[in-house]
Structure formats: structure tokens, C-alpha cells
Amino acid sequence: MEFFHKVPHINFLAARKLAMGMSVVVLLIAVVSLAIHGLNFGVDFTGGVTVQVAYPQPADLRQIRETLGTAGYQDAIVQNFGTPEEVLIRLQPKKGVSGKDTGSAVLAALQKASPQVKLEQVNFVGPEVGKDLATKGALAFFLTLTGILLYIWFRFEWRLALGGVAATLHDVVFTVGFFSIFHLEFDLNVLAAVLAVMGYSVNDTVVVFDRIREDFRITRKGTPFEIINLAVNQTLSRTIITSGVTLLVVIALLILGGPVLHGFSVALFVGIIVGTYSSIYIASATALILGVSKKDLMVRVKEDKKVDDMP
Amino acid sequence: MLNRYPAWKNITVILVTVLGILLALPNLYGDDPAVQISENNATLTDTTTTQVEQALNTAKLPYKSAVLNDNRILVRFNDTDTQLRALDAVKKTLGNNYSVALNLAPRTPKWMRAIGLKPMSKGLDLQGGVHFQLLVDLNAAVQTKLQRDATDIRGSLRERLIRYEDVSLSGDAINVTLRTPEDVAKAKTFISTEYPELTVTPGSQPNTLTARMSPQNIQQLRQLAVEQNITTLRNRVNELGVAEPVVQQQGGNSIVVELPGVQDTARAREILGATATLEFRLVDYTGNAVLAKQTGHIPLDDQLFPDKAGNPVLLKRDVIVSGDQLVDAVSGYDQESGTPDVSVTLNSAGAAKMGEVTRENLDKPMAVLYIETKTEHTTVNGQPVLVHKKVYTVINVATIRGIFSNRFQITGLAQDEAQNLALLLRAGSLAAPMDIVEERTVGPSLGQENIKQGFYAALLGFVLVVVFIALYYKIFGVIADLAVFMNLVLTVALLSLIQATLTLPGIAGIVLTLGMGVDANVLINEHIREEVRSGNSPQASIHAGYRRAFATIVDAHVTTLTAAVMLFLFGAGPVKGFAVTLSLGILTSLFTAIMGTRSLVNWFYGGRNLKKLPV
């Protein structure tokens, strides 16, 4: 089986202005949504209490809301979690009652109404912890970005490094924006997925860059535009196979991973798709616009010795 | 000749493969839901085992085995339902002196355990349990230390006949007011030599001194406080009898406690969060406590505390012995009256002081002051703030009947009070109050469900990838599949080797590395195809394909590793688990894709006279 029997000759970069324009518009929508809606942060970040319970029969959410309302938790968010029998309740602790006791109080109220209810999970996160988490997440994000910038700069060239960072940033903003626009819950696992998307996106980009560098070195004629286009086409087969295979795995997680990994899988799913697109368009096109040329990527020191190190 | 591998490389690949399979093997056996029984202060015997077995038989609860090993009894069951009911039954039979906890016992065969092969341990999300994060109030640690110094200085000044009017604490400074300038000079020399961590300066008023701690000393004290709290928490958790608890520092002032198998969160929280200590003080029997409370005139050397009924008691300021000089505390019953008591054993310094004071104060009353720190959430200027309140209770006043040595009893307690007090005293006191800022409880059935889902997701992902790659790259695809499979085995082997804890996000990390691990193979195979297309001979194509893919693979792996390392450094809990499996997966993928597949390809094609290369 082979999807690309010959190297395709798709003029990707001809559409770079259109693609860039589209990306800018989509990213603007994402940023605006983030500014207006913000993110639907999970308890991991906001602090609060979640109680997950299981009923022997499909749960009556309205009745649960009523029970909780009578117990003084009018603001509780009650929703199904994975199956109709399982219920996730999110709430903020009552004034004067510590968060730790809220979980037990909620369970007690539910058990009074229906004794067969079983406790599956209680989470209490203090407000201090959530703030700390958000700071650390942002720090990890910027440090990863810096790490990627420095590595590509060191291994390749600064224009490509900026292209790589632009692509990574693009993917992260898009993925986070997706969560904002569709109001999906953003918890600790989603944060992990977003950071994994960064790693994945840059992996994809580096493979294309590697080919760009190689083609610049071996091709005698041709404008940077033609060479970059060629490199993108040559790596297209690999890009699509790898992304496809990774997507297969993520789909497995999405279907069978259960509700706990749902947000995680969604973030990866979105991130991998935009990551594939961005390594073709954003990364290479940025480098091209910044004016990367043959002389920037020529061999600086003798590198032939490397062949002998090959396994 | 092209595509022949030197022997040492083949041997390395074979060795790593065998070792990897061996290390990963223990994970195939799964776990039995189990109940673990241990006793705090005594050795368990077979009598207890028989007792447990009888209890289970009476309750008609089938069990697989009940074995006494390492001073704990492990009873294995077929399912979690029986396990939960057995927990109640065993608890009821054995009573309060034993710790009974849920556990997951690996089914690893004996010979594997004998050579030290262990499966990965499962995280709380996979086996159920409680996770706590506690925030240590470090300012309180500094205050406590200064308070103690102030008391010590007061006593020492008196002993040395240096006349003082007042020694008191205000903010982070100890203010000493003396009678004469000579006393000031003497006190200054004395405090500077005896308390090197305090910096003594003349106070704002005449005849006063101010003693403060330097910032470095405060920093050191804070770190020590966190460490002492960790030690204390470990002791307390051990008292709870939890199977494999985790107590570790996280960041500058947080401690994470994970108690697998624990379902009774209320008790766990009570034991972890409580800070209780004792002080023994003399009662000022000459003063009138009720009058002092009404008028507010409290004698200079005295302090006023309520007893359990709320009546005021006047106690001397000086502490004879405090909780940190305690060696052991056991709850029991008073031999004469039959009422509950706590037998206390002091260290030698405490015993000496106690002996001296009781000798001088025979037939005078002495009090036991119980100090408990409670935390309250309040709001100050819209910000949630934790307030630690010390609650003092005089739990016992008794006349000194003899000279105490290192052992004596505290009476006048209810039975559960005696038990809790003994436990808290034995487990040591906390250097600084703590508050639980995060608590996560996972029920055991949810854990099972999570394992099942994670396992099936991994299986489905793996099957999809393997089938696709084999179809797409034929023989090279099968070789790539073998490499991806080895990648999985090696990742699991490394995780078992470092005894990492497997969490649900960790499983996701493993599943994801499967996808990423394929990438290296895709790169190699695409390059080989390209070489074949451009008309090179099969052997040359293989050689060039690997050569050209090498740098790209390294670059791609290093950049992904950068992200994984950041995740590890800045992530907490589940994110860390994900980062660990992702990083290890990336490393093993480098090995299997570059060395592993090459040795297979060379073995299969190397040195053969090939006309065509099916790729």
C-alpha cells in the first residue's frame, strides 16, 4: 500500500497568504473568545469541590439538584459523567464550612434522598493551589517555547527557529481557543495535553525543517520559494502517515479512555490536526517571509564525520 | 559490506530485549484486592491469622489466601466487593488495636519477587485512595520557636539572678525589660552566647533589649519545620497502617500525602491535620482564678486557661515539660480506678526537669495543658485567608503525690480522648500548623473502571497502529511493528525498574508514545522508499535511508523531549506521571527505531543479493 507513489507537486506555498490570512482570522476569533468567555476552568484551577457518585439506575439529575438545593447548595452544577448512572457535582464550599467537609455533607444529603448512591470520587482543591497551578502552567509553556526556540536556532538558523515558535504558538492558541469557543472544561489533564501538543507540533516542524536544510544544501539552483515547496512536498507522505497514526491512537483514547481522559483526548485531537497544518504553512511560510536563503543553511563545519557514527 | 551489523551491536540489542522483557513481565500478572492487617506496637502471630480466617468464614466471605509476612497479614480476595465487606468484618473482630487497610497485592510469582522483579505501583486513580496536599504555615513555626525562646530566657534570667521586669514577644522580636543597666549588660552577654541564632540589640526604651532572628536563620528554621512536619506525618501515617503511603515535599511549603486504599477520609484528615501537644505546668494555687478572669488582673508570672468545663485555671507561665520531650505515650487503663489513662515516657532532659520540679513541689497541684491548633477559613479584604487558632484546654489537674521520673500517667480522659491523645503524642508534634488545601478521594470501583478503560484504549490504539503499519510498509512495516512493540515493553520495563507510579494520564502517555514511536520508523521507511524510487540498489537504499533519517530522528526526539522535561519540572501529580512515561517512551523509541530495527533489517536483508526491495 502506498498513498504517495510519486513525490507530489502541490504548490503549497502559493497559497501561503491565504493560509496565513485564514490562520490570523481563526486565531483572532480564538483570542476574542478567550478575552470574552475566558476558559471554563475545572476545579483544578478555580478551587472548589467535585463529588462524583454512582447510582444503581440512571440518575435523575433534576431530583439531585432539588436535593442539593434543599441542603443549601443552589449553585451546584450537576451533570452526567460518562454513563447515565454516574453523576458529577461541582460546587463551591458554603461560607463557614471548610471545603473538606463539603464533600461529606453533599454525600450525606444525597444518601438521605436515595440510600443506594455510591461515592466514586471527591476532590477538594483550595483556592491557593489553583492559582499556583495556573502560574506553573504558564511558566512551563513559556520555558518550553524558549527551549524549542534555542534548540532550532542552535541546530538550524534563527529564521527557522522563529518559524517553529510561530507554528507552536499557533497550535497552542488554536487548541486553547477551541476549548474556550466550545466551552469545554479546561482541567489539569487538558493542560498536559496542550503541552504535549507543543512537543508534537515542534516534532512535526523539525522534520520539515530538516528536509528544507538538506534540499538547500544539495540543490544548486532554485529560489528559496521552490526549494521550501519541494521540501514540504517530499515530507508530505511522512507528515500525513505520522499524523494519521497518532490520530488513530488518540481516537482510541477518545473512544475507550473514559470520561477522565476525554478532555485530554479532545485537546490532542485538535492539536495534532492544527499541528500538521501549521508545520506545512505557518512554520515554513514564516521562515520564507523572513527571508531564509541558501547561504543561511550551508554547512558551517565539516559534518561528514557523522556518517561513521551511524549505527 | 553494506548492511551488516557488528556482533556487539546485535548482542546489545538482544541483551536489552531480554532484560526489557524480564523487567516488564511482572506487570502481566495483575493484582488481587486484599486487606492488610498490622499492629502498631506488637508482633503479629499466627493466632491473629486464625482469628481473621475464622471471622471471614463466619461472615461467609471467600478469600484466596491469608498469609502472615513481614509482621503484617495479607488476605487476598477475588473481587473488590468481597474485599470491602471483609474490611468491615475484620475490623469488627479485631477491634481498635489493629490497623486494617485496603491494599492491592500483586500476583507476581515467588521466583520473580525473589530476584527483585516488581510491577509498577498503581496510582490512586487506578486503585482508589486519598490524596492530600497540605500547606505548612511557616510563619507560625517561627513564632512557636520565638515563644519557646522567650520562656527559656525568662527561666534562665531568674536562675542567673539577673533581675528582669518583663520578657515578652511582639511580632518577630523578643523584648526584654530589665531593672538596671548592669543587668542589661549581663543579659546581653548571656543571651548572645546562649542563643547564637538571635541578634541582640538595645531596645527603644532605656534598660531594654531586643532579640531577633537573622533572615538566614529564619529560612533555615522554615526548611527544618517542613522537614519535621514530613517526619511527623510519616509517623502518623504509619500509625494509620496504610499499605504504601507517600509523604513528600512539594515546592517550598507544601506536603503531599497519598494514602492508597484508605476510604475513611474523615479519620485520615483528623489524624493528619491535627496538631496537638501537651505542656505540664504548675498550678498557681495562691491566686484566685475566677477573680482574675473577672477583673482581668492576672499575676505577672501566670496565665489563665479554661478547663474542660470552661472554668478558669491559673497556671504558671513556665513550662515544666512540653510535648517535644516526650518519648512514648500509650493509652490504657489506670490500675487503681480503672479509668482510661495515657502512660507517658519522657526523655532524660524532660525526666530530670520533671524530677526536680516535682521534688520541690510535693503535694502541690500540677496541670496538664492540651494545646490543639485548629484552622479556620475566613475572608479578609475579599481574599480567602487561613487562620490558625490555638485552643488551650487544661485537661487534668492533680496533686503531686511523689517524685516523677521518666514515666507517669495522665488521667481524667474519656476513652477515645485517651486513644487519640496517645496517638498524636506518639506520632510527634508538628513544628508548624498545616492546612489541607487539596483533597482527592477515589473509590476502589472507580479505580478498577479506570484501569479497564486505560487498558482497552491502549490495546485498541496498539492494534490500529500495528495493522496499519504492516499493511503500509509490508516487511519493513512488520519490523517497525516489532520495534513499536519493543518500545512498549521497554517503557514498561523502565517504569517498573524505577518503580514509577502508573496513573491514568501515565497510561495516556504510553499510548501517545506508541504514535510518536511510529514516527521514527515512518521517517526511515519513507527515506528508503525515496532512495528506491530514485533508482538506487536495494542495499544502498537501506543504507542511505537509515543514514538520512538519523539526524531528523534525533532532532525530532530531542525537541519532543524538551516539552516532556518541562512538563515534568512544572507539572504536578498526574501531569508528572504523564511526563515521565512520555520521556521514557521517547528515549526507548530512539533505541528501538535506530538500533533495534536496523539489526532486524540487517539480519533479514543484509548481505543478500536483492533484486527488488518490497517497501
pLDDT digits (tens, 9 = 90+) for A228-281: 999 999 899 888 898 999 898 899 889 888 887 888 899 999 999 999 999 888
The answer to whether B555 contacts A210, with C-beta atoms less than 8 Å apart, is: yes
**CA dihedral sign of residues B544, B545, B548, B554:** negative
What is the length of chain A? Answer: 311
Best B375, B465, B566, B602 member to test A by mutation, with max A CBs in 10 Å, is B566
Give the C-alpha separation, B76 to B56, whole Å. 12
CA distance B531 to B547: 11
Q: What is the pLDDT of residue A95?
A: 62
Query: Where do the domains of chain B lie?
Result: 7-26+443-605, 31-106, 138-216, 275-440
Q: Which amino acid is at A262?
A: H
Q: Name, in order, each residue with C-beta under 8 angstroms of B102's C-beta and a sequence gap of 6 or more.
A: B33, B34, B35, B36, B83, B84, B87, B128, B243, B260, B261, B262, B263, B444
Q: How many CB pairs under 8 A join A and B?
A: 243
Contacts of A189 in chain B (CB under 8 A): 505, 508, 574-575
Closest CB from B438, B533, B566 relative to A144: B566
d(CA A174, CA A275): 10
Q: Which fold has domain B138-216?
A: 3.30.1240
- What pLDDT does B382 receive? 60
**Contact indicator for A229, A12 with CB cutoff of 8 Å:** yes
B284 vs B275: CA distance, rounded Å: 27
Cβ contacts (< 8 Å) between B442 and chain A: which residues?
120-121
3-state secondary structure B462-496: HHHHHHHHHHHHHHHHHHHHHHHHHHHHHHHHHHH
The pLDDT confidence band at residue B276, using thresholds 50, 70 and 90, is low
Give how far B466 is from chain A: nearest CA, Å: 10
- Beta sheet of B208-213, edge-to-edge order: B164-170, B173-178, B208-213, B198-202
Residues of A in contact with B566 (CB under 8 A): 140, 143-144, 147, 195
B31-106 and B138-216 in the same fold:
no
Share of chain A above pLDDT 70, in %: 94
A272-277 contact pairs (CB < 8 A, 24+):
A272/A197, A272/A200, A272/A243, A272/A246, A272/A247, A273/A243, A273/A247, A274/A170, A274/A171, A274/A174, A274/A175, A274/A201, A275/A167, A275/A171, A275/A197, A275/A200, A275/A201, A275/A204, A275/A243, A276/A204, A276/A239, A276/A240, A276/A243
**Å from B47 to nearest chain A CA?**
35
Which chain A residue has the Cα nearest residue B597? A311
Preferred mutation among A153, A156, A210, A211 to probe B, highest tally of B CBs within 10 A:
A210
User: B434: which strand partners?
Assistant: B136
Q: How distant is the Cα of A151 from the closest Cα of chain B, in angstroms? A: 7
Asked if this assembly's ipTM is beyond 0.90, the reply is no
Instruction: Locate the chain B residue with the closest alpha carbon to A101.
Output: B266
> What band does B14 get if pLDDT is binned at 50, 70 and 90?
very high
* Environment class of B59 (CB within 10 Å of its CB; exposed 0-12, middle 13-18, buried 19+): middle
Domains of chain A: 12-40+129-300 (1.20.1640.10), 48-125 (3.30.70.3400)
Class of domain B7-26+443-605: mainly alpha
Contact A237 B526 (CB under 8 A): yes
β-strand partners of A118: A54
Q: How far is B304 from chain A (nearest CA, A)?
A: 29
pLDDT tens column, B376-393: 555 666 665 656 667 788
Q: Which fold has domain B275-440?
A: Gyrase A; domain 2 (3.30.1360)
**Mind giving me the DSSP string for A178-199?**
HHHHTT-EE-HHHHHHHHHHHH
The answer to whether A276 and A243 are in contact (CB under 8 A) is: yes
Residue A52 distance to chain B (closest CA, Å): 9
Q: What is the dihedral of CA B609, B612, B613, B615, to 10 degrees?
A: -170
Q: Please enumerate in sequence order all residues whose Cβ is within 8 A of that of B321, keeping only pairs 6 or more positions apart, or say none.
A: B279, B280, B346, B350, B353, B354
% of chain B at pLDDT higher than 90: 11
The answer to whether the CB of A140 falls within 8 A of the CB of A232 is no
Q: B31-106: which CATH topology? A: Alpha-Beta Plaits (3.30.70)
CA-nearest residue to A205 within chain B is B556
How many Å is the Cα radius of gyration of chain A? 25
**Which of the four pLDDT bands, split at 50, 70 and 90, describes residue B121?**
confident
Q: If you measure CA to CA, which chain A residue comes closest to B446?
A: A120
Give the mean pLDDT per block of 10 residues along chain A (311 residues): 77 87 93 91 82 86 87 82 83 67 80 83 78 80 86 88 92 95 88 84 88 88 89 90 89 86 91 90 88 78 51 54
- The alpha carbon torsion through B489, B245, B229, B390 (nearest 10 deg) reads 140
Distance of CA B562 to the CA centre of its chain: 28
- B187 near B176, Cβ under 8 Å? yes
B190: Cβ contacts below 8 Å, ≥ 6 apart: B156, B157, B160, B162
